[in-house]
A and B are shown apart, each in its own frame.
Chain A
Amino acid sequence: MVKITFDGIEVEVEEGTTILNAARKIGGDVVPPAMCYYTPLKGSGGKCRACLVKVAAGSAKDPRPMPKLVASCITPVQDGMVVENTTNPDVLAARKGVVEMLLINHPLDCPICDQAGECDLQNFSYEHGTSATRYEEERRTFEKKDIGPLIQLHMTRCILCYRCVYTADQITDKRVHGVLGRGDAAEIGTYIENVIDNEFSGNVIDVCPVGALTDKTFRFKNRVWFTKPMDAHRDCPTCSGKVVLWMRGNDVLRVTGRKDKYGEVQEFICNECRFDHKDPQDWTIEGPRHIDQGSVISANHYELPVLNVPVVPNLPGSTEEDLKSTPFNLGRQV
């Protein structure tokens, strides 16, 4: 075990842990944002530069600071390391810069994007960005490409995090897509118009941090915050069958993998579970999904019992305990 100090908080972690995962052990606001890093995907991370931190002391043996900011998702901790994240102005400035760079060519079409409410870039820019841009030039756009009946590719929204490429590389045996082109002309695409078609291809939708890859069977059917996420499972011969059903009434609108509080899929699911079973009777429903992430989805607290009582006026400040002791009917005036 090694000890590091992260924003003044001492934490003990296993040797080989990255700075980001050490911060995740502390949790809360000190955790650096991550747009490209994805724990289950080997080799991911280091690309978006959202998680840059300052290493003020390299280790107890060599306490010199690292000369540049480092990507916390790929840098392993050393015993005695001192890391500055929210306490370092250079880090905050760099992060603001990364938001600005990422938003240069990412269209702000959240009102029509199916990722709205679940978009890592939306959260990242809200927490670390500015309200205005200094970019006056023409934006980059791409020709639309058809990659099959199940997945919609909107390349203009892509931030080239490579997550979908790693997913295809590591959990499928029929990868047909990757990064083509160079620089800001680089794009996710298939080599000579091709369909992304294998039994785990739908996972590229779950790992996409923005709205570049969305579910064609769910698109425009509903906004995610109007749906009820329910944990469910089925006996699947291909995958674990553990999913989240996104329901409206008794209709299953969408099926996804289960994500942890950092938005990372816990177990990848097969396409049959994702796309072919939209009947609630196909599933054993376990109960409401607790969404821990600070997004609009969690604002509705669907896991609480729905009763006909007046709306709590100061909902954002309410704690879970308050809500349990004060049954209410969120969003429905009585």
Chain B
Amino acid sequence: MGRKLLTEHINVEGIETFDVYRKHGGYASVEKALKTMSPEEVVEEVKTSGLRGRGGAGFPTGMKWSFLAKPEGKPRYLVCNADESEPGTFKDRYLMEKLPHLLVEGMITSSYALGCRTSYIYIRGELMYILRILEKAIAEAYANGFLGENILGSGYSLDLHVHPGGGAYICGEETALLESLEGKRGNPRNKPPFPAVWGLYGSPTVVNNVESIATVPWIITNTAAEYAKIGVGRSTGTKLISAGGNINKPGVYEIELGVPVEEFIYSDEYCGGIWKGRDMKAVIAGGSSVPILPKDLILKTAAGEDRLMTYESLSDGGFATGTMLGSGGFFVMDDQTCIVRHTWTLARFYHHESCGQCSPCREGTGWLEKVLHRIEYGHGHMHDIDLLVSVAKQIEGNTICPLGDAAAWPVAAAVRHFREEFEWHVKHPEQATSPGAVFNKNASVLA
């Protein structure tokens, strides 16, 4: 049984209320930080812990905090990115719904470290019921002296607001989120300047994921040294994984980083194996924007070592044989899954969600979707397969924000690893479009 740092008390009855949360050690990090630590010490502690951003990029959180520009007559802001909307990723909503006070506590401790007087939780508009849960928790925190003026008599004051977004995927990108929070169209900003220098209302701002902020209380309460003992190498601590797809036990799991992928998929503690006893075909390990990997590469690295649930092991030093831990959206596909259809579905999502600000993403995502649609519905040509790769390459790295990469990578990886399946769709349009027909490499034609 792996250690649970975030979800230890998640099933305690009434844990969403202040009193029960407090009884189980809640808000200890606020007391410790405000009464015994300087803001710099809190930042240093987070740095030492090795915590990496849990929103997808995996950038060291403490280092991100230390980039925050020195105040020059301007306020500093902490914004929690609760706009979780990557297909396959649903861990943050689970955490916020069940443990709202953990996020509030993390926001207070983190805001203290960063010298913020006002902080925001930017939540996806569709999650209105969670917004209400958070607002209730915030009101309780105010009522008990953990928010507002002079928190716990420390002289530190903080106001915390929850702000619903309009429900656009692009608003999860940090600069688009800031634009949206400012009341503007959620278009990504050009970088530099980065939010640490020019963020919300032109002030230095840190944007962190829900899980990252929710991890801070444990680190401060139990020390960074204890946190760093968990995990493997530069992947320290635990990670919430939202597991879905063709597995026996879909759900959100807190794992210690370093668990072998095979154990995660097949053990009863986690996914419980592939449903209906089928064979596994492929896995998307970190949310829909990361490259898909076939069975042989998701279980073993190119060097033949066991693939671990860590940032490094999953990336495998490059995209050809690796993927990313990303946001932890772990999506398993069995041998009955049509990769072409699956890739088309993803492309359709990114086409729909592209903000349209820059040319390669605006035009390229739609192009990818249309070509994939043709192939899936039996109207594709052989040259379309190379066209997909070429268009993906024209998008990748050439856009303002990472949405372009997110649209291109899944397509390029699907063609790289499952080219035969794309070719089969082109060569056998009648079979490919017949109901339930799926290419199976081992069975030579149909599963």
| Distance between A219 CB and nearest chain B CB, rounded to angstroms | 27
Q: Which residues of B contact A22 (CB under 8 A)?
A: none
Residues from chain B with a CB closer than 8 A to the CB of A181 are 356
Q: Encode B367-383 as 1/0 by CB contact (under 8 A) with A.
A: 10011000000000000
A160 at the binding interface (Cβ < 8 Å):
yes
B353 and A101 contacting across the interface, CB-CB below 8 Å: no
**With A69-B397, A97-B398: A183-B360 Cβ-Cβ less than 8 Å:** no
| Residues in A whose Cβ lies below 8 Å from that of B367 | 101, 104, 135, 137
Question: Could you tell me how many residues of chain A have their Cβ less than 8 Å away from some Cβ of chain B?
Answer: 33
Complex interface: chain A residues within 8 A of B363 (CB): 101-102, 104-105, 184
**A106-B261 Cα distance, complex, nearest whole Å:** 47
A97:B394 contact, CB within 8 angstroms: yes
B168 A182 Cβ-Cβ under 8 A:
yes
A13 on the interface (CB 8 Å rule)? Answer: no
Which residue from B357, B399, B400 sits with its C-beta under 8 Å from A160? B357
Which B residues lie within 8 Å of A48 (CB)? 358-359
Q: Which residues of B have CB within 8 Å of A71?
A: 190, 400
Taking a contact as CB atoms under 8 Å apart, the answer to whether A49 and B360 are in contact is yes
List which A143-191 residues lie within 8 A (CB) of chain B. 159-160, 162, 178-179, 181-186
Within 8 A of A (CB), among B326-381: 351-360, 362-367, 370-371
User: In whole angstroms, what is the CA distance A94 to B364 when docked?
Assistant: 13
Range of interface residues on B (Cβ < 8 Å): 20 to 34
Minimum C-beta distance from B405 to chain A (A): 10
> Is B387 interfacial (CB-CB < 8 Å)?
yes
The A167-225 residues at the B interface (CB cut-off 8 A) are 178-179, 181-186
- Quick check: A185 and B370 within 8 Å, CB to CB? no
CA distance in complex: A162, B190 (Å): 14
Would A101 and B356 count as touching, CB distance under 8 A? no
Instruction: Tell me, yes or no, whether B185 is within 8 Å of chain A by CB.
Output: yes
Q: Are B354 and A45 in contact (CB under 8 A)?
A: no
Complexed CA–CA distance, A68 and B405 (Å): 12
Closest B residue by C-beta to A50: B359
Restricting to A69-120, which residues have a CB under 8 Å from any CB of B? Answer: 69, 71, 74, 94, 97-98, 100-102, 104-105
Give chain B nearest CB distance to A288 CB in angstroms.
Answer: 36
List the A side residues contacting B393 at CB < 8 Å: 97
Cα distance, A101 to B399, chains bound together (Å): 12
**Which A residue sits closest to B356, measured CB to CB?**
A186
Asked if A4 lies at the interface with its beta carbon under 8 angstroms from chain B, I say no
A68 lies within 8 A of B185 (CB): no
**A101 & B360 in contact (Cβ 8 Å cutoff):** yes
**Would you list which residues of chain A between 287 and 323 have a CB under 8 Å from chain B?**
none
Known: A46-B400, A102-B363, A137-B367. Contact between A184 and B357, CB under 8 A? no
- Shortest beta-carbon distance from A1 to chain B in Å: 21
Q: A101-B363, A134-B387 are in contact. Are A45 and B190 (CB under 8 A)?
A: yes
Establish whether residues A160 and B397, one from each chain, have CB atoms under 8 Å apart when the complex forms: no
Contact of A69 among B357, B362, B366, B398 (CB under 8 A): B398
Q: How far is the CB of B358 from chain A (nearest CB, A)?
A: 5
Query: A residues within 8 A CB of B357?
Result: 47, 160, 162
In the complex, the answer to whether A97 meets B360 with C-beta atoms within 8 Å is yes
B359, A183: Cβ atoms under 8 Å?
A: no
Q: How far is the CB of B270 from chain A (nearest CB, A)?
A: 35
In the complex, residue of chain B having the shortest beta-carbon distance to the beta carbon of A68: B397
Q: Is A52 an interface residue (CB 8 A)?
A: yes
Partner of B366 from A45, A52, A183 at Cβ < 8 Å: A183
List B contacts of A98 (CB < 8 A).
359-360, 394, 398
Query: A residues within 8 A CB of B400?
Result: 46-47, 49, 71
Task: Report if A52-B398 is in contact (Cβ < 8 Å); known contacts: A98-B360, A182-B355, A184-B366.
Answer: yes
**Could you tell me the distance between the alpha carbons of A150 and B68 in the complex, rounded to whole angstroms?**
49
Task: Tell me the bound Cα distance from A308 to B207 in angstroms.
Answer: 71
Please name all residues of chain B whose beta carbon is closer than 8 Å to the beta carbon of A69 when the two chains form the complex. 397-398
Q: Which residue of chain A has its CB nearest to the CB of B384? A: A136
Cα A102 to Cα B355 in complex, Å, equals 16
Chain B residue numbers with a CB within 8 Å of A104 are 363, 367
Query: Is the CB–CB distance between B351 and A184 below 8 Å?
Result: yes
The docked-state distance in angstroms from the alpha carbon of A182 to that of B387 is: 25
Cβ of B378 to closest chain A Cβ, rounded Å? 15
A100 contact set on B, CB distance < 8 A? 394
A214 → B minimal CB distance (Å): 21
Which chain B residue lies CB-closest to A43? B190
Please report which residues of chain A, range 33-59, place their CB below 8 angstroms from some CB of chain B when the two chains form the complex: 45-50, 52
- Chain B residue with minimal CB distance to A96? B394
How far apart sit A50 and B360, CA to CA, in the bound complex (Å)? Answer: 10
Bound-complex Cα distance A185 to B362 (A): 9
Which chain B residues lie closer than 8 Å to A159 at the CB level?
Answer: 359
Determine the chain A residues whose CB is within 8 A of the CB of B394 once the complex forms: 94, 97-98, 100-101
Q: Which 7 A-B pairs have the closest CB atoms?
A: A97-B394, A186-B356, A101-B363, A183-B354, A46-B190, A137-B370, A68-B397
6 pairs, A vs B, C-beta closer than 8 Å: A46-B190, A49-B399, A68-B397, A182-B168, A184-B365, A186-B355
* B residues whose Cβ falls under 8 Å from a Cβ of A: 168, 185, 190, 351-360, 362-367, 370-371, 387, 390, 393-394, 397-400
Q: A137-B367, A162-B357 are in contact. List 5 more A-B contacts (CB 8 A).
A: A49-B358, A182-B355, A183-B355, A186-B356, A186-B362
